[in-house]
Chain A
């Protein structure tokens, strides 16, 4: 944990205390950014081996992901589901749990929202939309919460369980939209009945990006408050540090595990709600499009810090937004973006071993007297 309150002795002068705090926090920024640059460098070598110009690649990526108003709209419209998917990984991670099956909660949340929308098709949006969102969150929460319960009560590995349950979720979604929930009108693409217009989520005024983005950012901020500013978050971090010790201290580890996994699942379910209500207009197999898996990468890159998830999600969405242009202009296969993500991922994971190794980031280094 790099963001604990500084523990500098009160006797130190204020300037040195501030410097110490800054140094401590800088570590959490400098190391990931350096790791990102190393990832880019390795990727550049990969491109050179392929006979492609890294400069061209990054210029095109900048242009297509961040260079124009359209690029920003393209990037941001991909960001919303990624924010929720990353939170589904980051929240349980605070307890030391590695949940990689957010895709399942997202898909089922989407089906739940679609089904609820059909049931509520006569209602006005102001009533129906919150109910649809709530239903999606409950289903998503139950799905990943079940993974937490399996872990706590039965000792089942949560990583494997969540991944396998994602496959079950997708099979269940296929069964539901092709069977009981199918709109008979949807001939060649089995779907639930289309949502009526009042039950659709629109764009943020002045943007061509739906409201899911604003809610995603809000959820990231709220998740940060939960983890950093509340006793529950504190308890979760303690339990994540050492589960046994937390139990000995009398912390309610069971409710924490189930609560945090369920909350993560609920947020993934909310992503499914926005995909259905804002993008697709009905639930169908397009819901399983891999956002849940990209979310894992983002959560790890953000080191499970909910606030850091926002810029990281935008960065990765920008890369995905740009993958089209790099395919078209540089004749690079679509998998190039995956290779880049892979290099960055490995580089960030390796940088984890470097925390605490550089004296420059320790408050002691900045104590007046023994520093320079």
Chain B
């Protein structure tokens, strides 16, 4: 018979054999580590001008440290994919510290893999570590709602229509806190201001984000911000409609240099280098870590050219108050947007109040609904 049976595995084996001469030394050097390998896993592209880019900027800062090798993977789904990516980094790269950065990685994936590798540290963004969970897992996050409050102050000064807009992914506590903070910041400037919110239903859905931004502009909103994974579409669409924009997650000023007021950014570079240094020094990272502007977990983009002097002055003074600690954006008297009382005068939820992590309301002045 003239036909040679050809199996794909045989082919791959053959290719592997041919290639081993060049490939194996590369693998060997990466595996035989003396430096500590740190792995970062992102749910989307790491240049998304948003959530993932903010983490990737943190990873880049870690990469610059001595005694550390950084490995990264992007576009990893919140399925067994991420379990496999973590296992692969541990097995092939001898990773000792992992940053699986998407919220959906936490339960069940991180919680499932961590007990199998007690000598590996898992640091997860945004998860809620509680007693009884594996002790080699930690969760950390920042009070970025305060950043949206400061965004709101610049928005309050910039708006002429007294209507500002918010493009939001899903009505979950973190997002609701950002929306409420944005409006309450603006109302520090003018209590007449309202904020219209549109939920797109997905963390990353460019078409709906553009539609929502246009709908807000059509409704008369002249300052727009957002909470979606990649704010690029919202920023560019809003600026194209001659609206001012406030950024989120990362610095989006290059996308709309004239229209960008400021932005609430993660400062993962500072947080991650600190955590990695703790590991290098043989210390332990806390299992539940939170921080705000004062702790260097979040930062504000430089104020844009459209920010007025009055706006700048109020922005700086409120920022100083927040830096001093104990600041509350959510304080009484406060009603939700159906008129029901939330807090009475004198009551306040300071930035680290755990009640904020289960927020399920929109405050008075926000036009929109959580369901």
A interface residues, Cβ below 8 angstroms from B: 19, 22-23, 26, 29-30, 33, 36-37, 53, 55-56, 58-64, 66-68, 70, 74, 77-78, 171, 174, 178-179, 187-190, 275, 279-281, 284-286, 289-290, 311, 315, 320-321, 324-325, 327-329, 333-335, 360
Contact = CB atoms under 8 A, between A and B. Distances in A.
Contact of A63 (B16, B71, B76, B79): B16
Given A58-B12, A59-B20, A286-B77, 20 more contacts: A23-B3, A55-B22, A59-B16, A59-B24, A62-B15, A64-B88, A67-B16, A74-B84, A74-B88, A77-B80, A77-B84, A187-B172, A286-B78, A286-B104, A289-B79, A311-B8, A315-B8, A321-B88, A335-B75, A360-B2
A289 B78 contact: yes
Interface of B: 1-3, 5-6, 8-9, 11-13, 15-16, 18-20, 22-24, 26-27, 30, 45, 71-81, 83-85, 87-89, 91-93, 103-104, 107-108, 126, 128, 170-174, 201-202, 357-358, 371
A78 B103 contact: no
A59 B2 contact: no
B342 to A, nearest CB: 18
Contact of B89 (A188, A290, A328): A328
Nearest to A33: B6
A62 B13 contact: yes
Contacts of B26: 56, 329
Contacts of B87: 70, 74
A74 B202 CA distance: 28
Nearest to B6: A33
A334 B75 CA distance: 7
Q: Which 7 A-B pairs have CB atoms at the shortest separation, nearest pair first? A: A55-B19, A59-B19, A59-B23, A286-B78, A58-B15, A62-B16, A334-B75
Contact of B172 (A22, A190, A290): A190
B171 A189 contact: no
Contacts of B12: 58, 61-62, 66
A62 B108 CA distance: 29
A78 B84 contact: yes
Contact of A189 (B8, B19, B104, B357): B104
Main secondary structure of the interface of B (DSSP, over half): helix
Main secondary structure of the interface of A (DSSP, over half): helix
B1 A56 contact: no
Given A19-B1, A30-B3, A327 B72 contact: yes
A82 B344 CA distance: 55
Contacts of A179: 371
B156 to A, nearest CB: 28
Contacts, number: 139
Contact of B93 (A36, A178, A315, A328): A328
A357 to B, nearest CB: 16
Contact of A327 (B5, B74, B79, B104): B74
A334 B73 contact: yes
B15 A324 contact: no
24 contacts: A30-B6, A55-B15, A58-B16, A59-B24, A62-B16, A63-B23, A63-B92, A64-B92, A67-B16, A74-B84, A74-B88, A174-B201, A189-B107, A280-B79, A281-B107, A290-B77, A321-B88, A325-B88, A328-B71, A328-B72, A329-B26, A333-B74, A335-B75, A360-B2
A113 to B, nearest CB: 15
A34 B363 CA distance: 63
Contacts of B93: 328
Contact of A324 (B79, B84, B126): B84
A329 B30 contact: yes
B73 A324 contact: yes
